[in-house]
Structure 1
């Protein structure tokens, strides 16, 4: 590992050197048992007085990060920071921290101000206690974000809920790492197997989704004589959506269902007075003949399932998780 000191930075050399070694241990560049240069060797390498290196090593040893063996030298100790460095989710966390730093620097935030902001936020979050990490996995970004907000509102302050699409998990290693390190993943019943296979080491639960209030009201207001075309992007969603239309528009008898990619979709839509389309099948409203009423079939998580399936896990996880009360430094 290179020990580089930047003398142009407004940071004391001793603090820089200590931070470099701490970071090397935290990110896995320095592993448990690795030998560190002797005081004289490191002093010559970075161009500082041996006393500076001695003081840095003294501070690191006091923190439990390094250990001295008489006659053998100085080595990386078996600390919690060193053990965490080997975890894949911690590697992903480093990337997130780097992204945060890059973003702050791009905004012109000084390093000292960023450190103060981070420590203040860390102290605040610690004062709140442990919050269970939940990921809502869906298909479309906008819809999944609305689902996550709905779930978060019902769970309250004991949990954070991050929206994430299956496509993001497949394409983005950072997203997959975040989902894999979550305490709980929530998804659709018909996507449970797929999501579980993508995140084999994470607890995955499925909940039901019901038509949103605006969708229910629009369906209830349909003309009993209307010819309704139900259109979905995915074949496995089609029976779910059709059943919802039949439930909330029970007075309507003429209901036809098709996927947006069916060969006869144009003919189905040409014969319809109303098109009810799911997220992802918006093109149905464009293909339909002029004057055709269009209703987007939006779902919302079933509050009853959140209460029955998700809430007990959140309560248990919150009670079992240790709450760290150390002050941020």
Structure 2
């Protein structure tokens, strides 16, 4: 059985006061929980029955949400064992090492069958290692593929600080990719959000490997939320309805002193009236345009996320080095991305 705390967190986060159907909320809680690292790979999710009993949603609603998340590759079902957050790439490299060992043993067997002296085989291996050392020094080109332009640029800048000198990471949005606005050679690696990984793989069409990193609320966001006046009337605005289910408890976590928090979707025609009765607006990244058009009050707080530095250090950077050295292959760049 999954942890009682996880089941309780999901059930309590389903908020009937939000202007979002419970099915959309449940999908958002899991999808963005994975993207933000709150639901790490391998975590067992509650069963349909457990969710229905704890939250009061219809079992078929939970079934439909789980099926959609499975199609997206975010969760997996193990017959007789339950439903789990999909595993990311292995970090220890044991599978790659086993494959290398198998290739070496096969090559030695072939050399022996062909009566090739072991000294000659050793010379070939040493030459290959030398070429690999040359590759280890080559600069790497990464692509940060995101949803909103300014946020994607900020994500790329944050990751760039942790890359080796000479390595670059270029920001690009999905819209820019679809419109053909990104020119140049295929990158060595594409980085994206966990809930957008399947979309990124489809966009790349096999021209480069795709990986995901988790995100967390920025330090500035946490500080601004903690400083909200306890008596302030606070409202949340998001472009994506499903994100409100995770955003509201997230804001409460950093501003537990605020009693009442309302929420609305950015394209709701009632947005101007909603903003007019608030003291503080907290908006999800991407809702800036809607707020400006609706006349949001000054001092709105962006609920901005940044790449989790631990995920970058423990998952992304080792993968970059593995691709650089050739230990992990990348798809050949057959053509430039146009």
The TM-score normalised by the length of structure 2 is 0.51
Alignment size in residue pairs? 193
- Residues in 1 aligned to 2:274 and 2:312: alpha-carbon distance in whole angstroms: 37
Q: Which residue of 2 aligns with 1:43?
A: none
CA displacement 1:160-196 (0-9 Å, x = unmatched): 2111111110001644x64xx2221111122222212
Is the aligned partner of 1:217 residue 2:223?
yes
Offset, 1:213: 1.8
- Residues in 1 aligned to 2:253 and 2:212: alpha-carbon distance in whole angstroms: 22
Residues 208, 305 of structure 1: 8 Å contact kept: yes
- Residues in 2 aligned to 1:236 and 1:156: alpha-carbon distance in whole angstroms: 37
Flag structure 1 segments of 5+ consecutive residues without an equivalent: 1-125, 322-329
Flag structure 2 segments of 5+ consecutive residues without an equivalent: 1-133, 328-338
Residues 141, 187 of structure 2: 8 Å contact kept: yes
The TM-score normalised by the length of structure 1 is 0.53
CA displacement 1:8-67 (0-9 Å, x = unmatched): xxxxxxxxxxxxxxxxxxxxxxxxxxxxxxxxxxxxxxxxxxxxxxxxxxxxxxxxxxxx
Q: How does 1:180-329 map to 2 (within 5 A)?
A: 181-201=186-206, 202-282=208-288, 283-284=290-291, 287=294, 293-320=299-326
Q: How does 1:7-26 map to 2 (within 5 A)?
A: none
Residues 138, 188 of structure 1: 8 Å contact kept: yes
Is the aligned partner of 1:152 residue 2:160?
yes
Residues 275, 284 of structure 1: 8 Å contact kept: no
Q: Which residue of 2 aligns with 1:64?
A: none
Residues 233, 261 of structure 1: 8 Å contact kept: yes
Residues 273, 293 of structure 1: 8 Å contact kept: no
Residues 158, 318 of structure 1: 8 Å contact kept: no
Residues 187, 206 of structure 1: 8 Å contact kept: yes
Offset, 1:210: 1.7
Q: Which residue of 1 aligns with 2:335?
A: none
Which one has the largest radius of gyration? 1
- Residues in 2 aligned to 1:196 and 1:184: alpha-carbon distance in whole angstroms: 11
- Residues in 1 aligned to 2:200 and 2:164: alpha-carbon distance in whole angstroms: 25
- Residues in 2 aligned to 1:132 and 1:206: alpha-carbon distance in whole angstroms: 17
Offset, 1:233: 1.8
Q: Which has the higher contact order (CA 8 A, sep 6+)?
A: 2
> CA 1:281/1:173 → structure 2, altered by over 3 Å: closer, same or farther?
closer
- Residues in 2 aligned to 1:135 and 1:209: alpha-carbon distance in whole angstroms: 17
Offset, 1:288: 5.2
Is the aligned partner of 1:165 residue 2:157?
no
CA root-mean-square deviation: 2.7
What secondary structure sits across from 2:317 in the alignment? helix
- Residues in 1 aligned to 2:187 and 2:250: alpha-carbon distance in whole angstroms: 32
Residues 231, 281 of structure 1: 8 Å contact kept: yes
Offset, 1:225: 2.3
Q: 2:147 aligns with which of 139, 144, 161?
A: 139
